[in-house]
Chains A and B, each alone.
Chain A
Amino acid sequence: MSLALDLFTIVAVTLGAIFFLAGTVGLLRFPDTLTRLHALTKADNLGLGLVVLGLLPQATAPFGWIGLIAVWLLALLSGATVGQLLAEAVRPPEWDQARTPDASPVGHPNAPEASSHD
């Protein structure tokens, strides 16, 4: 039984590491920020999820499990938020205008006066 659990750990953590590798390759190779974000958040969500899943049999019940799952959920939450914020900061202004044609040209998020902090 413990051999099966160890094998499960090895397989799941290896799969997670492959997702992290693929995410890193995507981050380096994809052409623009939005596609790079996709690669990065995929690695965070699935890669970390698989690593956590693989480590569950090795952790002590129940607090080790709760801790590992909490780490994964918090990484999901922060990763999703940061992805949204970065995407919002880099999206071209035409997209907003295409969605709301009569909107007045408000300060574009990428414009220098909105991105500086002073």
Chain B
Amino acid sequence: MTSALVVDAALVLLVLGLALWITAARAAYGAAVGFVAYGLLLTLIWVRLAAVDVAMTEAALGSGLTGLLLLGAAARLAPYEAAEHQRRPGLGLRVLVGVLCAAIAAGLAAVVLLLPDPAPSQALAVAAHLPATGLGNPVTGVLMAYRAVDTLLESVVLVPALIGVWSLSTEMGWGGRPGFLTPWRSGSALPLLARVLPPFGILVGIHLVWAGADDPGGKFQGAAVLAAMWILVMVAGLREPPRVSDRLMRFLLVVGPLCFIGIGAAGIRLAGAFLAYPEAYAKPLIIAIEVGLTISVTAVLGLLLAGPPVPEPQYQRQSRRRS
């Protein structure tokens, strides 16, 4: 018992110290690397709290994918960073930012400290009604049945996010291939990894989606692993990212949300409410939605990292420069 307490206390201190270090770090690149380590420590804390689903999401999306996006942004911003440090904001602005941040921290602390004891919870009601969904994992049950509108919106919101990234493309680049993941030099160890790892990664990704019905896992975690394999193949130069004008790829981007909305709308007729499932078919319908969403989330996550499209000659020049 006490040894577990020591480990937990050490984890908490590490997370707090790392968070302070990230906030104080001057260089964006160092802060992004710190953010990845921070995500991994948070993952351990979620595991200690027995929230394995949240831990997997944090590791795959919070730390891994967001970390990669931040590292890419830091690398792109590096040339302007020195100039940015010269222009120090005025005292008034700095005080204002400090006060607002302190207010947010105090507000969060107040909310946590003022929670009623025991905290209000629907957990018992969910556990009582879970068999109706045919699922064994209560997290998946809540996400797919009781809070399905939230899940629908958070899977749809990925598509506008990708449109936002694409709209950063120049006019000449539109219709071309995404330009951030130009292939690494040939002859390095990366192409070997990109050939050996994907079979295992794809297996793990599909397993996470499938096991998500009854055990920790699910479409977002599985899709993050699948997207990582795709990105690995693109960075190694074994496959080019698809053109943003590619019709099949655009269809894959929206097939998940379309499937979700379609089944949800059918629920109005069959079960009496939007996003309600007829009881006899709840599990097959939920699995159909999970599979469709996995495909779309994988495609969106991979293309988010692949960045806005660039003109074709520029893409080839970048590829050559690296080989």
In the complex, A85 has a CB within 8 A of chain B: yes
Chain B residues with CB under 8 Å of A117's CB are 72, 75-76, 180, 182
In the complex, A11 has a CB within 8 A of chain B: no
A84 touches B189 (CB 8 A): yes
Interface residues contributed by chain B, number (CB under 8 Å): 20
B182 touches A85 (CB 8 A): no
Counting residue pairs across A and B whose Cβ atoms lie within 8 Å, the total is 40
Interface string of A82-109 (1 = CB under 8 A from B): 0011001000000000000000000101
Which residue of chain A has its CB nearest to the CB of B185? A109
Complex CA gap A88/B191 in Å reads 14
B200 touches A80 (CB 8 A): no
Size bracket, chain A contacts: 10 to 19
Which residue of chain A has its CB nearest to the CB of B180? A117
Interface string of A66-78 (1 = CB under 8 A from B): 0000100010011
Chain A residues with CB under 8 Å of B192's CB are 81
A74-B200, A114-B322, A117-B182 given; A85·B72 CB < 8 A = no
Tell me if B's interface is mostly helix, strand, loop or mixed: helix
In the complex, A32 has a CB within 8 A of chain B: no
B321 touches A81 (CB 8 A): no
Residue from the set B75, B179, B182, B193 with the largest chain A CB neighbour count within 10 Å = B193
What 10 pairs between A and B have smallest CB-CB spacing? A84-B189, A81-B193, A81-B189, A117-B75, A88-B188, A117-B180, A85-B189, A85-B190, A118-B76, A85-B188
- Residues of chain B having any CB pair with chain A under 8 Å: 72, 75-76, 78, 179-180, 182, 184-185, 188-190, 192-193, 196-197, 200, 318, 321-322
- Residues of chain A having any CB pair with chain B under 8 Å: 70, 74, 77-78, 80-81, 84-85, 88, 107, 109, 113-114, 116-118
